[in-house]
Amino acid sequence: MLGMVVVSVLATIVGIAISLAIDWFPPQASTAAEDIDLLWDVLMIASVPIFVLVMSVAIYSVLLFRAKPGDLSDGAPIHGNTRLEIVWVTIPFIMVSALAAYGWVVLNDIEEKQANDMVVNVTAQQFAWRFDYPDDGKVKSNQLVLAKDRPVEFHVRTEDVLHAFWVPEFRLKTDTVPGLTTQIRVTPSKIGEYEVVCTELCGLGHSTMRQNVRVVSQEEFDTWLSEEQKQEQGEQASAAGGDQASEGKRVFTEDGCASCHSLADAESASRIGPGLDDLGDTARRMGKRHGQSPAQYVRAAIANPDASLTRDFNAGVMPTDFEKRLSPAEIDTLVKYLLSVSGGSK
């Protein structure tokens, strides 16, 4: 008995030491990460003794009370012990109540609204993320850039199905839900490069739905922001000035095409959908078969992708609502751009 107690106390100490020594989490890159990692350590300290207790009683029972060969006797006819039962109802009750209270406190801390926070709108779609900074000159971007120590409030939306917005180093996550804008608050605390990871199964490209996050110093962030603003104005000007190629490329990369289709001109290499570098040929051939011009064919394939499947690709993968998401003018520009960079506008 004494041996058992000594061994289990030692095992508990060793177990707690190991559980604290293990580097469980990715690096901490937000203020919430510290709180959550500390909460985890407390949970480990509370869990290890319970597990060791169960293991020790089980192992010691087997060692002490194992039947000798041929032993047909029965054990002690003990039916219960009210005092013991009260103990093992009360102690777990107190433990979980305390842990729940502590969890609640941490939850309030990490979700508290910060003064001076910056809103970033996040838009998810199969299988890409877009970010815009409504407070700071309405910048739109494909990568998430944040300033160290500047609190952020993410407003997260989706254009199609459920996704989940997660940056492991920040420890924070929220689903994106059609019809809702979900919010999370983060204060980045460490300069570095991370990834937004989609964690809610969203279709074939789910495992590729990742995008870069950069946490930079405030100065660097400001520089980036003003450059983006300039670039944006430039693009708008060129689009207004009829630079259809760059506008088409913008639609291709920003409105989701690039997250599934490869296209050398747009530096996209994704292989979820058919590659578009030889779209010109395909469109000419298929268009002829259906009595359409190449442009008509491409247009129809964008509006109703399942009707014009290529070999090795399945129906139901490509969203069928691009005709709604994009304006007719945008689709025109996109079609022209696609044909122009894939040898289809000869």
Partner 1 sequence: MTVTKQPARPPAHDRPTLAGRLWAPGWIRAALSQPLSFLVALALTVGIRAAYKYDPLFDWDAITTVALITMPLGFIVGIGCFDYWFRWASGAPTIAEDHSGHGAKTWKDYFRVNTDHKVIGIQYIITTFFFFIVGGLMAMVVRAELAQPGTQFVDPNTYNGLFSVHASLMIFLFIIPVFAGIANYVIPLMIGAPDMAFPRLNALSFWMLPTAGVMMMASFFAEGGAFATGWTAYAPLSTETPIGQQFFTIGVQFAGASSIATALNFLVTIITMRAPGMTFWRMPLLVWANFTTSLLVVIATPFIAGSQFFVLLDRSLGMNFFNQAAGGDVLMYQHVFWFYSHPAVYIMMLPGFGIVSEVISTHARKPVFGYRMMAFSLVAIVILGFTVWAHHMFVSGMHNWLRVPMMITTMLIAVPTGIKIFSWLATLWRGVIHLTTPMLFALGFITMFTLGGISGIILAVIPVVIHVSDTYFIVAHIHYVLFGGSVFTIFAGLYHWFPKMTGRMYDERLGKAHFWLSFIFFNLTFGPMHFVGIDGMPRRVADYADEFATMNALISVSSFFFGLSFLVFLYNMITSWRNGPKAVANPWRAHSIEWQVSSPPPIFNFDEIPTVVGGPYEYGVPGAVHAVFKDVPVPAKAKPAPAGGGGAPPPTE
* Interactions with partner 1, residue window 154-173 (CB under 8 A): 160-162, 164, 166, 168-169, 171-173
Considering only residues 94 to 133 of the shown chain, the ones binding partner 1 according to CB under 8 A are 96-97, 99-100, 103-104, 106-107, 110
CB-neighbour burial class of residue 10 (10 A; exposed 0-12, middle 13-18, buried 19+): exposed
Which one of residues 236, 316, 327, 329 is an interface residue with partner 1 (CB under 8 A)?
Answer: 316
Q: How far apart are CA 259 and CA 264, in angstroms?
A: 13
Considering only residues 67 to 96 of the shown chain, the ones binding partner 1 according to CB under 8 A are 67, 71-82, 84-85, 88-89, 92-93, 96
Using the rule CB under 8 A, is 39 a contact of partner 1? Answer: yes
Only one of the segments 25-33, 134-142, 243-251, 333-341 lies at the binding site for partner 1 (rule: CB under 8 A); that segment is 25-33
Please, what is the end-to-end C-alpha distance for the chain in angstroms?
A: 90
Q: How far apart are CA 143 and CA 210, in angstroms?
A: 10
Using the rule CB under 8 A, is 45 a contact of partner 1? Answer: no
Question: Which CB atom, from 63 or from 237, has the smaller least distance to partner 1?
Answer: 63
Using the rule CB under 8 A, is 201 a contact of partner 1? Answer: yes
Q: CB-hemisphere CA count at 13 Å for 185?
A: 17
* Residue 176 identity (one-letter amino acid): T
Question: Which CB atom, from 58 or from 329, has the smaller least distance to partner 1?
Answer: 58
Using the rule CB under 8 A, is 35 a contact of partner 1? Answer: yes
Only one of the segments 136-144, 262-270, 309-317, 327-335 lies at the binding site for partner 1 (rule: CB under 8 A); that segment is 309-317
Burial 290-317 (b: 16+ CB within 10 A, else e): eeeebbebbbbbbbebeebeeeeeeeeb
CA nearest to 215, candidates 140, 145, 154, 152? 145
DSSP letters spanning 74-134:
--------HHHHHHHHHHHHHHHHHHHHHHHHHHHHHHPPPTT-EEEEEEEETTEEEEEET
Using the rule CB under 8 A, is 224 a contact of partner 1? Answer: no
Token readout for 248 is: 């088409």
- In whole angstroms, the minimum distance from the beta carbon of 169 to partner 1 comes to 8
Which one of residues 19, 28, 142, 182 is an interface residue with partner 1 (CB under 8 A)?
Answer: 182
3-state secondary structure of 175: strand
Question: Which CB atom, from 167 or from 258, has the smaller least distance to partner 1?
Answer: 167
Considering only residues 250 to 279 of the shown chain, the ones binding partner 1 according to CB under 8 A are 272
Using the rule CB under 8 A, is 66 a contact of partner 1? Answer: yes
Using the rule CB under 8 A, is 199 a contact of partner 1? Answer: yes
Count CB-CB contacts under 10 A for residue 271.
12
Considering only residues 323 to 342 of the shown chain, the ones binding partner 1 according to CB under 8 A are none
